[in-house]
Structure 1
């Protein structure tokens, strides 16, 4: 039996016992303020964190400002075309140099004392400069630049100057799924303008668990299941698909073709008028990638967890969901939709409609999910039951999507980092007897 981060009384937070097919998490991990503070320094100050998508800053001078890992940052494409991530903090007295969530500018001006910075981060203007001594140099006061990189258009930042992994190394097996997303358009993918910003009175890790939990779909989202059936579509089955551990806390669930996908999988809920174009798109993908990969790109539904706080749900539409802690009992959620740049306008409207209908903050699913994680948070405050159980599927060589493999992969990395161990990535072994239909190289078995 392996035990994880210790409570003050000496009891483990995570109990991972493969021999007994048991995986438990002490519920204080969701409610303890001291643990929440430790997460910021041991996880969010160390990992690669998602900032945004390159399409959000399409031209020189374009920028977005948002909080990442509890720090205000600006992602800007400079006049030289290079994307950089800066601290959203004036080097003079600390005020935000960018208060708008997005825009286009040649420079950023601090409203406090009019210090001005170029969109490449240099300090270019200081009022009454003779008030400083001869040793003052503007070159010493440029915006603090964070280490950033991108993979297939997804931009990440790390605040750890000693972070030993490149972004690609850190993403490990998650790169396969980012490839499947970006390959959905030869013209490239783009974030659809507009974001849904909301929160929940619950711990952020409960929403990470929920986002890769397919077990709850038919129980919690009965209204949406009925809605799909009323339109002639088939909701996800209770059984089928598989979960994958992708290393370093990343994980995915992959479901067989079932639900609607406006890219290239037509179902009656889209309307008969769209069927010829959607099927023509499917034929183009088969010609480009071959039948097997084309089906996986265009018809398979998947939920990708990138540790610690990014979810990409590629199903009814493509949703990028960033889940940020705001203390032990609160979280902030930012959701945007991703789509092919070359998508027909009416197909785009169809995609947006289905995105909002299911995954929007007022859709069929998201209010259910918010209510249930808040219910879990309240329930965890009763200390009589100490542990939550995430053992489902530990008895299987290849866990299904209704099992809890992705949540266990998340918690194992959480536990390693909270103990100070960065965790060495090894591709989990795919055991013999993997069901047909799982792509070659799929790591089905859990690392023991």
Structure 2
């Protein structure tokens, strides 16, 4: 009989804290482990930092974090993208405090050192005091390795890491499917809201591919929609599935008919979108384009988790930022059609607000559940978190492992990658 209360010493190897069907509660509560995660995961792998639409022009920038380190994502005069440590090379002050904007340079407010968009040191006030002991070429803002896939910008501190396309692996085809929400227009991030919850970052990571909770936690959302939408979201016992895509990535397919938004456009338009379809027709859009736009407005039928910090979640980007072992910041970024019909984008924003918004029916319920998990993690130091749902029915797929839609396959995928990265001695990582 399986012992659910197997004692584990917290100074043991982190890989011992992750088993095939469970993880130790200390992964939520041990501050030492949290610091080790920053070093071995967030500072060693590819981290999502922006969508290309957030920095559209020369000089456009966005400030964010990789782990706990502040960075600037910026497009230079040649339209190349750079990710720079937000730290003056003189005395360490941040050189950018705005969340986003457009600029010609970054200037330290403390002593006036100025940097070009590519991070090179451009000017130093009163350089004569340095005589010949200052070479500006030696002191640029620290630049990280940057690569992109289909508009998604990733950066890493690890110069020896595999190329981004290899890291993403089979997840690339799901990114491509997700981007079909542009309906022929470029996908655009059109704002976000941020909030924090008192819980560990991995609690949120688990949630993105957790269908099991949906009918219980989101009763208020389900009570707010029409019968046709309610039937659409009754997917826990449906034909969907969860698939482990390797490298900690996973996908949860809730509504298989909406995986490819450009397929079966001849199907009837859902009743809730008939008014939108008619407005588009009145604007002069051809029927095929109307159907394509309407389908895109409703969002994709899946959640894609990209380890460790971003999800392409049905119709928005969900980004997590670890703050402390028991605190996490979440960014929910809504996506629209850049240059697309204004009426369609308004529908998209209203749908986002309905579930993901701070006054919506989904996010507040999720965040309370996450908070309760963190609170409960402090009860019983030798208890394990069970992740065995769907394990018996899990089988190999072309891209990894697959099980039913309410299985915990996606969580197991993330924790196996956690185990792999945390087991590597610090001196070996990056070699």
8 Å contact 1:323–1:333 — kept in the other structure? yes
8 Å contact 1:260–1:266 — kept in the other structure? no
Q: 1:286 Cα shift?
A: 9.3
Q: Structure 1: which 4+ aligned runs deviate by more than 6 Å?
A: 258-265, 294-299
Query: Is 1:116 aligned to 2:114, yes or no?
Result: yes
In structure 2, what is the equivalent of residue 229 of structure 1?
A: 226
TM-superposition CA deviations, 1:342-387 (whole Å, max 9, x none)? 3210110110011011012321111111101110111110116611
2-structure distance, mates of 1:213, 1:339 = 25
Matches within 5 A, 1:252-331: 252-256=251-255, 266-274=269-277, 277=280, 283-284=288-289, 300-314=300-314, 318-331=315-328
Matches within 5 A, 1:33-432: 33-163=31-161, 165-185=162-182, 186-192=184-190, 194-229=191-226, 233-237=230-234, 238-240=236-238, 241-256=240-255, 266-274=269-277, 277=280, 283-284=288-289, 300-314=300-314, 318-383=315-380, 386-396=383-393, 397=395, 398-420=402-424
Q: 1:270 Cα shift?
A: 3.5
2-structure distance, mates of 1:110, 1:384 = 46
2-structure distance, mates of 1:30, 1:118 = 41
In structure 2, what is the equivalent of residue 433 of structure 1?
A: none
1-structure distance, mates of 2:296, 2:242 = 15
Instruction: State the superposition RMSD in angstroms.
Output: 3.0
Q: 1:181 Cα shift?
A: 2.0
Report SS of the residue matched to 1:15: coil
In structure 2, what is the equivalent of residue 434 of structure 1?
A: none
Q: 1:405 Cα shift?
A: 0.6
TM-superposition CA deviations, 1:191-222 (whole Å, max 9, x none)? 11x22111100111011111210111111100
Q: Give the unaligned 5+ runs of structure 1.
A: 17-22, 288-293, 423-448
Q: 1:150 Cα shift?
A: 0.6
8 Å contact 2:178–2:312 — kept in the other structure? no
TM-superposition CA deviations, 1:258-293 (whole Å, max 9, x none)? 799999784333353435749x88845999xxxxxx
Q: Give the unaligned 5+ runs of structure 2.
A: 396-401, 427-431
Indicate how the Cα distance of structure 1 residues 162 and 299 shifts in structure 2: closer, same or farther if over 3 A, else same.
Answer: closer
8 Å contact 1:266–1:275 — kept in the other structure? no
Report SS of the residue matched to 1:234: helix
Q: 1:65 Cα shift?
A: 0.9
Q: 1:161 Cα shift?
A: 2.5
2-structure distance, mates of 1:79, 1:329 = 41
8 Å contact 2:178–2:300 — kept in the other structure? no
Indicate how the Cα distance of structure 1 residues 390 and 93 shifts in structure 2: closer, same or farther if over 3 A, else same.
Answer: same
2-structure distance, mates of 1:106, 1:129 = 22
8 Å contact 1:255–1:301 — kept in the other structure? yes
User: Structure 1 length as normaliser, TM-score?
Assistant: 0.83
1-structure distance, mates of 2:403, 2:296 = 19
8 Å contact 1:6–1:13 — kept in the other structure? no
8 Å contact 1:228–1:234 — kept in the other structure? no
Indicate how the Cα distance of structure 1 residues 262 and 346 shifts in structure 2: closer, same or farther if over 3 A, else same.
Answer: farther
2-structure distance, mates of 1:281, 1:31 = 56
Q: 1:103 Cα shift?
A: 0.8
Q: 1:257 Cα shift?
A: 5.3
Q: State how many pairs are aligned.
A: 402
2-structure distance, mates of 1:282, 1:390 = 46
Q: 1:182 Cα shift?
A: 2.3
2-structure distance, mates of 1:334, 1:286 = 30
8 Å contact 1:257–1:299 — kept in the other structure? no
8 Å contact 1:191–1:337 — kept in the other structure? yes
2-structure distance, mates of 1:341, 1:281 = 19
Indicate how the Cα distance of structure 1 residues 205 and 340 shifts in structure 2: closer, same or farther if over 3 A, else same.
Answer: same
Indicate how the Cα distance of structure 1 residues 202 and 415 shifts in structure 2: closer, same or farther if over 3 A, else same.
Answer: same
8 Å contact 1:232–1:268 — kept in the other structure? no
2-structure distance, mates of 1:285, 1:272 = 11
Q: 1:143 Cα shift?
A: 1.3
